[in-house]
Amino acid sequence: MTAHATQAVLDRAAAGGRITPEEALDLYRSAPLHALGTAADAVRRRRYAGTEHIATYIIERNINYTNVCVTACRFCAFYAAPKDTAKGWTRDLDDILRRCAETVELGGTQIMFQGGHHPDYGVEYYEKHFAAIKKAFPELVIHSLGASEVEHMARISDVSVEEAIRRIHAAGLDSFAGAGAELLPARPRKAIAPLKESGERWLEIMEIAHSLGVESTSTMLMGTGETNAERIEHLRMIRDVQDRTGGFRAFIPYTYQPENNHLKGQTQATVFEYLRMIAIARLFLDNVAHIQGSWLTVGKEAGQLSLHYGADDLGSVMLEENVVSSAGAKHRSNRMELLHLIRTAGRVPAQRATTYEHLVVHDDPANDPVDDHVVSHLSSTAIDSGKAHPELKLIDAS
């Protein structure tokens, strides 16, 4: 594609026109980085006209209920094989509810309930836990699991995917977190997650969920050896389903972490590849509302830059996270730092709900929250002087 042709495609996309997968691949490979970012930011500004000065974040907790898993994905450093009793563990319900209590205490609004594909956990396990969480904490949104977990639980309980989704939704699941997408095209998916369902099946389950009123996010794991063309094909597969259902609220690319897993860092995505993907996603996914930057895997500076490449959301203060951290993600943050990152990117921070409504717009720094307990990767279930568990004392987050 000539420079003139490249700019013409960028201009069309910036103005709201749909671009083809072939055009997206050409742009991803060869468009000047700043021109790509400028076009993507124009799309964001037009989509959010009136609130384009705002960038959002959420306070949430990722409760990993077990690390026992039969899937054995090659990029994962979190799982334990079912027979590995020394490494494998499962949290009991009381522990899970204490973590929910602490989340509420810290102003969190969302729970991501995620773990391994345990050979004994069918639909009944999730029904029990979601119902208990909702009964104790009706204010918490359960934004959890993904198509892979649904496929697994349905097989364990010998029910259809439709029945599994209906039952866990009735028990308290609000939306799916889009987990397990990894890479949807067949070649890279088989290379890194040979025991998981196909990408087509992952999308089929999400489409079923959307038809049942359960929305989701969509994700992409970058840097495990996939080609540029396969990355764009991943986007195409998502866009085609979104054309039919409208059920994907957001797209969230994140980068492979190379420690303690079977891929052993053979390949990784660079920061520039990541920023180009954020921009291409904003240009190509014209039917997906939100693009989320992922400071957790690429670092806070790159996360901040993503706000200039089409992202409108900077993810979360994740009070607890164990999966990508096990593979080497070392970035940590807190609410005050996240507000600073958003402000110094030239935007006004706003805490959002799971469905992206603005809960608190931090338009005056003088009124910023000052609770230094709201920090990512806090592992305790003990808030000092907290209302949820006043008998407990805060464990140092370090």
Annotated binding site for [4Fe-4S] cluster: 69, 73, 76
CA dist., res. 147 & res. 116, Å (int): 13
Whether 315 and 57 have beta carbons less than 8 Å apart is answered as yes
Q: How far apart are CA 100 and CA 108, in angstroms?
A: 9
> Annotated binding residues for (3R)-3-methyl-D-ornithine, as ranges?
294, 316
- Lookup: tokens for 204: 């089929």
Q: Under 8 Å CB-to-CB from 369, ≥6 apart: which residues?
A: 107, 335, 336
Q: How many CA atoms lie within 13 A of 163 on its CB side?
A: 12
CA distance 81 to 334: 33
Which of 196, 134, 206 has its CA nearest to residue 171?
A: 134
* Residue 216 vs residues 49, 234, 248, 251, 392: alpha-carbon distances, Å: 24, 16, 5, 10, 35
Beta strands 290-291; 248-255: pairing state? parallel
Q: Which of 343, 344, 336 lies closest to 363 in space, CA to CA?
A: 343
Q: Which two structure tokens, joined as six digits, stand for 385?
A: 């002087």
Residues annotated within a binding site for S-adenosyl-L-methionine: 75, 182
Binding-site residues from annotation: 69, 73, 75-76, 182, 294, 316
Between helices 3-14 and 21-30, what is the axis angle to 10°? 120
What's 395's DSSP letter?
P
Q: What angle do CA 198, 200, 204 make, to 5 degrees?
A: 115
Q: Residue 87: is it exposed, middle or buried by C-beta count within 10 angstroms (0-12/13-18/19+)?
A: exposed
Longest C-alpha distance within the chain, in Å?
A: 67
What CA–CA distance (Å, rounded) separates 63 from 98? Answer: 11
For 128, 290, 382, 390, 397, the CA distances from 385, given in Å and listed in that order, are 30, 37, 9, 5, 16
- Give CA–CA dist 46/328, Å, rounded: 37
Token pair 């094989």 is at which residue?
81
